[in-house]
């Protein structure tokens, strides 16, 4: 589990095809203190297993399934990525709960400056935009961000200068593809409300109609 608060960036020092997938040698721009062989590290928001950790360099294996659902297939030697080590129970939860299981790729539709801030508009499949709500959370290339507004298949976020400086988001331009993970809480709530097997035999009267009646859902 992660928080979407990026610890630093990494450089791809080697990209190699392997067994239908890929193996990447990554070098972090920060020290990996107390490294644990086999620990989880989010690479552009994708939870991967680090192995052969040496100093601030490590290897990750990426399966064909992960390559097909994320933008990791486009990485090459010299590419920069966002890195975050897995959350410890004693850590501060500065962003939101991020699983590292990317839902899909989205597209940068617009980028513009507004004072010291940068506004990005992203498009995403309508099957997923239902989980994106105004002032809710979303992870873009592993970065926890707050949704400013959303309409149809598009949503907008405002990024502060610090985030642009310490992550790869500053390198994004219209047309670029990004890894997107929607807020996992929304998916759990949907399943609880729609899966009849969950309610079977419980006698529960809490459903979507009940929540709408009491102001928890918009009609």
Answer yes or no: is pLDDT of 35 > 80.
Answer: yes
Residue whose pair of structure tokens reads 């630093």 in the numeric block:
8
| pLDDT of amino acid 191 | 83
Give the whole-angstrom CA distance, residue 64 versus residue 87: 26
| pLDDT of amino acid 207 | 66
Give the whole-angstrom CA distance, residue 51 versus residue 142: 20
| pLDDT of amino acid 74 | 95
| pLDDT of amino acid 214 | 62
| pLDDT of amino acid 215 | 63
Answer yes or no: is pLDDT of 201 > 70.
Answer: no
Give residue 203's pLDDT band: very low, low, confident or very high (50, 70, 90).
low
Give the whole-angstrom CA distance, residue 83 versus residue 167: 9
Over residues 61-77, the mean pLDDT reads 96
| pLDDT of amino acid 94 | 86
Mean pLDDT score of the chain: 91
Phi first, then psi, for residue 139 (nearest 5°) are -105, 120
Over residues 80-93, the mean pLDDT reads 90
* Segment 127-166, tens digit of pLDDT: 999 999 999 999 999 999 999 999 999 999 999 999 999 9
Over residues 15-38, the mean pLDDT reads 93
**Residue 206 Cα to chain centre, angstroms:** 31
Give the whole-angstrom CA distance, residue 20 versus residue 14: 16
| pLDDT of amino acid 93 | 82
Answer yes or no: is pLDDT of 79 > 60.
Answer: yes
Q: Which of 74, 107, 95 is nearest to 184 (CA)?
A: 95
Over residues 79-95, the mean pLDDT reads 90
Two structure tokens written together for 24: 């990447």
- With residue 191 as reference, give the H or E element that holds it: helix 184-194
| pLDDT of amino acid 34 | 86
Answer yes or no: is pLDDT of 205 > 90.
Answer: no
Two structure tokens written together for 32: 């990996």
Neighbours of 31 (CB within 10 A): 10
Sequence-distant (≥ 6) Cβ neighbours of residue 68 within 8 angstroms: none
Answer yes or no: is pLDDT of 195 > 80.
Answer: no
Backbone CA torsion sign across 195, 200, 202, 204: positive
Q: What domains are defined for the chain?
A: 8-85 (2.40.30.20)
């Amino acid at each position: 589990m992660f928080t979407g608060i990026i610890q630093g960036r990494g450089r791809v020092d080697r990209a190699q095809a392997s067994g239908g997938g890929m193996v990447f040698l990554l070098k972090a721009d920060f020290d990996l203190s107390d490294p644990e062989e086999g620990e989880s590290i989010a690479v552009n928001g994708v939870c991967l297993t680090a192995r052969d950790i040496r100093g601030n360099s490590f290897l990750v294996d990426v399966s064909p399934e992960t390559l097909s659902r994320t933008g990791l297939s486009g990485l090459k030697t010299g590419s920069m990525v966002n890195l975050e080590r897995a959350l410890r129970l004693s850590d501060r939860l500065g962003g939101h709960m991020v699983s590292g299981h990317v839902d899909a790729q989205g597209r940068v539709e617009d980028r513009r400056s507004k004072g010291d801030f940068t506004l990005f508009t992203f498009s995403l499949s309508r099957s997923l935009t239902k989980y994106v709500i105004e002032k809710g959370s979303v992870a873009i290339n592993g970065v926890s961000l707050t949704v400013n507004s959303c309409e149809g298949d598009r949503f907008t976020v405002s990024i502060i200068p610090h985030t642009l400086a310490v992550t790869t988001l500053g390198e994004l331009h219209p047309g670029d593809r990004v890894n997107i993970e929607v807020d996992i809480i929304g998916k759990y709530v949907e399943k609880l409300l729609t899966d009849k097997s969950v309610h079977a035999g419980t006698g529960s009267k809490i459903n979507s109609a009940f929540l709408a009646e009491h102001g928890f859902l918009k009609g």
